[in-house]
Amino acid sequence: MTEIAQPTAIRLTVSFAAAVYEGSCVVEGVRAEHCDADAWRAALARGAVAVLVDPPATVRSEAAPLVVLDAIMAKRNLGTSRVDGAVVIALGPGFCAGTDADAVIETARGHTLGRIMRTGCAEADTGTPGEIAGRSSERVLRAPRDGVVTRCRRIGDLVEAGDLIFRIGDAEVRAPFRGCLRGAISPRVAVTRGMKIGDVDPRAETAYVHAVSDKARAVGRAALEAALLIGRERGLFGVSSAR
């Protein structure tokens, strides 16, 4: 897995991006380790996910992966092409199957979430967060100004409406309603006004903090299915397309 130097992930308790900040992390029993360019093979040999700070994914030339997955979620294609791997899969808005990638996985919530597309494009980004327990945009906390975030609460804390969660300089970000702080951006990230910095879950269930979401499971399962389907068609995994 490749990352940027300061990942902007919010749900750090269920994101391998946390390894960049902490050195290592475990998500639902799977360990990830932050590695340099000389250590990723050893991490794999230990059974861990190797996480490299390598935005252009230059490790591809050495690793020669059969499957390349673009999960950047930039809402647009930042340069991924079908020649990047034997099988190339991309997630969500900004990608068209058959042009940018061999398959595109739909990430928009609804009846088509997790759909594997071999032709056509993913739905355009609506800019509206998915609804949880009747809350949508209001559950997402955004930076009121540019600056460096100071956390006043930890991920997993139960909060009441009006509780102070972040400070950015002299600006404050408070909980919009009672719930659980499900996600919070790393305080090492310099944020810009309007940037997503936190997520309050109105269900107020702390166990969900350490559980991969239903959406993430659907998208991940579809990406794996697409990789196996196309790989088998191309005889990459010891199973010929004729079988």
69 and 124 co-located in one domain: yes
Which of 47, 63, 79 is where one domain is finished? Answer: 63
79 and 122 co-located in one domain: yes
pLDDT at 33: 98
On the question of pLDDT at 88 being above 70, the answer is yes
Residue 222, CB-side half-sphere exposure with 13 Å CA sphere: 23
Task: State the Cα–Cα distance between residues 195 and 92, nearest whole angstrom.
Answer: 20
What residues make up the domain containing 240?
A: 65-128+211-243
pLDDT at 239: 52
Written as one string, the DSSP assignment of 184-233 is: E--TTSEE-TT-EEEEEETT--GGGGGS--HHHHHHHHHHHHHHHHHHHH
Which of 42, 63, 84 is where one domain is finished? Answer: 63
Which of 22, 40, 63 is where one domain is finished? Answer: 63
pLDDT at 69: 97
On the question of pLDDT at 243 being above 50, the answer is no
Over residues 168-182, the mean pLDDT reads: 96
57 and 73 co-located in one domain: no
224 and 193 co-located in one domain: no
pLDDT at 237: 83
Q: Report pLDDT digits (tens) over 34-44.
A: 999 999 999 99
Answer whether 32's CB lies under 8 Å from 48's CB. yes
Over residues 26-49, the mean pLDDT reads: 96
Count other Cβ atoms within 10 Å, centred on residue 113: 17
52 and 3 co-located in one domain: yes
Please classify residue 147 by burial: count the beta carbons closer than 10 Å to its beta carbon, then call 0-12 exposed, 13-18 middle and 19+ buried.
middle
User: Which stretches of the chain are assigned E, i.e. beta strand?
Assistant: 2-3, 24-27, 30-35, 49-53, 67-70, 87-91, 96-97, 103-105, 116-117, 120-121, 140-142, 147-151, 158-159, 164-168, 171-174, 179-184, 190-191, 196-201
pLDDT at 241: 46
Rounded to the nearest integer, the mean pLDDT of the chain is: 94
Task: State the Cα–Cα distance between residues 202 and 179, nearest whole angstrom.
Answer: 4
Query: In total, how many domains does the chain have?
Result: 3
82 and 51 co-located in one domain: no
On the question of pLDDT at 242 being above 60, the answer is no
Over residues 95-120, the mean pLDDT reads: 96
76 and 98 co-located in one domain: yes
Q: Report pLDDT digits (tens) over 3-17.
A: 999 999 999 999 999
pTM of the model: 0.89
